[in-house]
Amino acid sequence: MSREYDDHGAASGDDRRGRPQGQQQRGPGGGERRGGNVSGRGGDRGQGRSQDGSRRNARGHERNRRAQHERSYSTQAPGQRRRRSDPARLAAFEALRAVNSEDAYGNLVLPSLVREHRLDRRDAAFATELAYGTMRWSGTWDAVLQTCVDRPLDQLDPAVLDALRLGTHQLLAMRVPDHAALDATVGLVRGEVGQGPAGLVNAVLRKVARRTQEEWLEDLASQQPDEWRAMSVRRAHPVWEIRAMRRALRANGRDPEEITALLDADNAAPDVHLVALPGLGSLDPVLEAGAHPGDLVADSAVSGGGDVHRIPGTREGVVRVQDAGSQLVARVLAQAAVAEDAGRWADLCAGPGGKAALLAALAHERGATLLANEVSEHRSELVRQSLAPVPREAWRVRTGDAREVPAEHAGAFDRVLVDVPCTGLGALRRRPEARWRRTPSDVANLADVQRELLDAALEATRPGGVVVYATCSPHTAETHDVLQDVRDRRADVEVLDTAALAEQAALPGAFHGTRAAGLELPGGGSSVQLWPHVHGTDAMYMVALRRRG
Which active-site residues does the annotation give? 472
Contact 260, 245 (CB under 8 A): no
The dihedral sign for the CA sequence 342, 360, 418, 494: positive
Give the torsion sign (CA, 4, 12, 204, 268): negative
State the Cα–Cα distance between residues 319 and 174, nearest whole angstrom. 32
Return d(Cα 132, Cα 106) in angstroms, integer. 7
Distance linking the first and last C-alpha atoms of the chain: 55
H or E element in which residue 231 lies:
helix 227-235
Between CA 239 and CA 449 the distance in angstroms is 25
Q: Closest Cα partner for 87 from 170, 226, 192?
A: 192
What is the spatial distance between Cα 358 and Cα 5, in angstroms, rounded to a whole number?
39
CA distance 398 to 409: 12
Buried b (16+ CB within 10 A) or exposed e, 224-259: beeeebbbbbbbbbbbebbbbbbbbbebbebeeebb
CB neighbours (10 Å) of residue 219? 17
DSSP designation for 175: B
Name every residue whose Cβ is closer than 8 Å to that of residue 401 and which is 6 or more positions away in sequence.
375
192: exposed, middle or buried (Cβ count in 10 Å: 0-12, 13-18, 19+)? middle
The residues near 144 (Cβ < 8 Å, ≥ 6 apart) are: 31, 168, 172, 208, 216, 220
Helix residue spans in 252-352 (DSSP H): 259-267, 284-288, 324-335
Calpha distance 5→20 (Å, rounded)? 13
Report which of 269, 242, 23, 28 is spatially closest to residue 144, judged by C-alpha positions.
28
DSSP string computed for 348-385: TT-TT-HHHHHHHHHHHHTT-EEEEEESSHHHHHHHHH
Q: How many CB atoms lie within 10 A of CB 546?
A: 21
Residues in the chain: 549
Which residue, 407, 356, 352, is CA-closest to 376? 352
